[in-house]
Chain A
């Protein structure tokens, strides 16, 4: 494979977990809920997906298990923040701590055992094309799902009535309630969706990216996903740019090291993805004039059903 093609394929892989998790969180935040527990949900998804795939031999069951695990943790979050109106920031952080612990506990017996990588798409003829083959037709299901979900989310939020209701709950919950929309239920659904997507992101890590289970294997990707939602100014298509930018710079700095291009300490090169994200967002903000890049107005605030 041509090095440039190979590198691009690596970038696509690196961006996928970020994209899946950020996509889920974006929907939750659009509905007005800030869930900082992405890292925890990703990890329970990773360990569940791995464990079930290992035990049953079926990757499909594993992926379903991962989605369910993420949803389960999101359910807990929903009960606390939407049911008991607990503070969302603190609950999300608690969720991360809990999720890390639970996943380590459950996964203890699975360390040191490999599992078969998710099967890659293999269309005779198309997958063998020199450049387009590996680039477009050589990925596994979750990669395609990540991009498809972005499109689906954009369509749902922008073009459907349900999506409009969801956005209304995030922008002005009291008005939405007055119009008769079930704000709490909508938010709950959005949070569960976020959990499912984070779980799938975790499954991608443990079943495709590095098919193994190790403690805390998300290595902070959940936090990057949260930042990417902000970067995308809560717009789904922008998520693609953010995830691929971040993933791309991450991979490229490794290449730069391998080529011995810059005589700077490796830590400086490692800083590049983070600096690039800030820089690009600043440029976007500066260039867009005074266009609103604000979060959904009700983000993080609990909804109190008026008496």
Chain B
């Protein structure tokens, strides 16, 4: 019972409140919340994990003394994850954010053992009374950049550097292709799988190979700025991923899809502070600001910017659906007739590609 308090009093400040905090006797609203984050990669990846950590820092900025944050990075999905999550729970964290799909089963198991602790799992699908799921509609961003690609590509060939064929990536490829082909019906999207989220050398090699095969626009679903660097050097254009990569490609970056977790994290930690936290499954996008589009680069002319903005606004208003029919798959079959669009459930399981994708 009091192992927790020993550790707490060793840590900075708040010694008095720590000694009184017996589990279960906490008031619904609290004066201070401990929040923990579990990262699958290093915060130095300048991509996925980096943006989550930026969100954590936003929480610290917004809530100041009312929150104490902890994070563990480079946690491998698998048995180690369960131990880390459990330890965060056991060391007094009130809410824990697990930022990778592979943490799902460990989160569910630990949540059963710690019913008073709140857990939030990114990109998963299993919930519990104390487990919420959150996800971002990255594909909405893809629709916007696909629009730009459709207008600016001369060769009509796009190089897509992808990590793994999971639904999120598949969705992204499809959304991009659909948007691009609306403006450029003969567009071809060539996908190369590097089988890693994060390997700058391989990503650069893939970019070079695709450019050598005629792609004049590069986009990626991997984490490092390497492909954009190659694009900058070769004089082609591309899109940044997860964060604004302009520093690496001041001319080549047309824009970037930026993951913006801060506001969501602040909201959820505040809910724990105020005692109003509830489990949910949310999938936020451009409207809620979880996905953002970076400022346009120098190669994007005015009229294309206006068009991209209009697409963005349409998605936010609900007048434009990234997966509105008619949609044909690679074999030419009509999967979604005109007038209909794919539902969220269908999107979350997506394992087929639309016409124009070569994967």
Contacts and interface: CB of A to CB of B under 8 A. Distances in A.
Interface in A131-169: none
The 5 closest A-B pairs by CB, nearest first: A266-B193, A111-B44, A210-B200, A254-B209, A210-B226
Interface in B212-236: 212-213, 224-226, 229, 233
Contacts, number: 101
Given A219-B200, A266-B193, 11 more contacts: A6-B211, A10-B209, A112-B50, A114-B247, A117-B233, A209-B204, A212-B225, A215-B44, A219-B202, A251-B205, A257-B192
A269 B209 CA distance: 15
Interface of B: 42, 44-46, 50, 159, 190-196, 198-206, 208-213, 224-226, 229, 233, 247-248, 358
Contacts of B46: 111-112, 214
A268 to B, nearest CB: 11
Contact of B213 (A14, A210, A259): A259
B247 A10 contact: no
Contacts of A270: 193, 195
A250 interface: yes
A108 to B, nearest CB: 6
A127 interface: no
Contact of A212 (B190, B192, B199, B248): B248
A15 B210 CA distance: 19
B151 to A, nearest CB: 23
A217 B200 contact: yes
A304 interface: no
Interface residues of A, number: 36
A141 B259 CA distance: 38
Given A104-B42, A215-B44, A266-B195, A255 B225 contact: no
Interface string A104-132: 10011001111001000000000000000
B193 A257 contact: yes
19 contacts: A1-B212, A6-B212, A14-B205, A108-B44, A113-B247, A114-B248, A209-B204, A210-B204, A214-B45, A214-B198, A219-B201, A251-B205, A251-B208, A254-B209, A257-B209, A258-B206, A258-B210, A266-B192, A270-B193
B206 A254 contact: yes
Contacts of B200: 210, 212, 214, 217, 219
A211 B229 contact: yes
B224 A7 contact: no
Contacts of B229: 114, 210-212
B233 A258 contact: no
B224 A214 contact: yes
Contacts of A209: 201, 204
A307 B192 CA distance: 62
Given A205-B201, A210-B200, A267 B195 contact: yes
Specify which of A6, A107, A266 lies most central, judged by the most chain B CB atoms within 10 Å of its CB.
Answer: A266
A200 to B, nearest CB: 16
Nearest to B162: A266
A21 B125 CA distance: 45
Contacts of A259: 213
Contacts of B201: 14, 205, 209-210, 217, 219, 221
A200 B264 CA distance: 44
Nearest to B250: A114
Contacts of B225: 114, 212
Contact of A258 (B159, B195, B202, B247): B159
B205 A250 contact: yes
A153 to B, nearest CB: 24
Nearest to A114: B248
A69 B226 CA distance: 24
Given A114-B248, A210-B224, A255-B209, A219 B199 contact: yes
Contact of A255 (B44, B204, B212, B226): B212
